[in-house]
Amino acid sequence: MPELVFFSGTMDCGKSTLALQIGHNRSARGLQGVIFTRDDRAGEGKLSSRLGLVTEAVEARPDMDLYGYLVGQMSKGAKVDYVIVDEAQFLAPDQIDQLARVVDDLDLDVFAFGITTDFRTKLFPGSQRLIELADRIETLQVEAMCWCGARATHNARTVGGEMVVEGEQVVVGDVNRSPEEVGYEVLCRRHHRRRMTSAAAHAGALSPDVLPVNPA
């Protein structure tokens, strides 16, 4: 039976890499799929992983009917065997409903990849709807790590290296941006609560108020 599967995890846990791998495995068996993405770091109409892999994709704009797009392509003779959606957290709830309809009415597997919560630890509307509708939810097994070495569970937005907790829910950035830009960092819950990024921890270690270390 076709399924709507939601693969979730923090940034840096390999979601886009797995999406590309699923597409590769199916194309190697002669299957053809449609890849949707939204606001990928590589630019419009791209699905990219931090390992450097990039493929073409369909940009799922906010007003796009994903079900209608697929029906239109299939009506023109296009072969569609499965659907992959990256950055699914950015989709509107009604677009998630459309993906569920793709599974139920077109009998296609839909593999959606996304992070669950934003930099404020609030659910993205798209992710919330996926949790409500998905046939199956898979947590990525590749664990991202906080700067302290603990398992990273939260996404932090940084500006100038400092964590911020206010602003628009969606601001495109990346974990590899320079400190002066809007960027993101994965943290454990403890350091997210304390707003202690790797830059803040480094500055704290250089503070003259730290305990002295005995060279002996």
Sequence-distant (≥ 6) Cβ neighbours of residue 28 within 8 angstroms: none
Distance (Å, whole) CA 6 – CA 15: 10
Distance (Å, whole) CA 195 – CA 192: 5
Which residue from 56, 53, 59 is spatially nearest to 15, judged by alpha carbons?
53
Sequence-distant (≥ 6) Cβ neighbours of residue 27 within 8 angstroms: 33
Q: Which residues are catalytic?
A: 87
| C-beta separation of 65 from 43 below 8 A | no
Which residue from 88, 92, 99 is spatially nearest to 2, judged by alpha carbons?
99
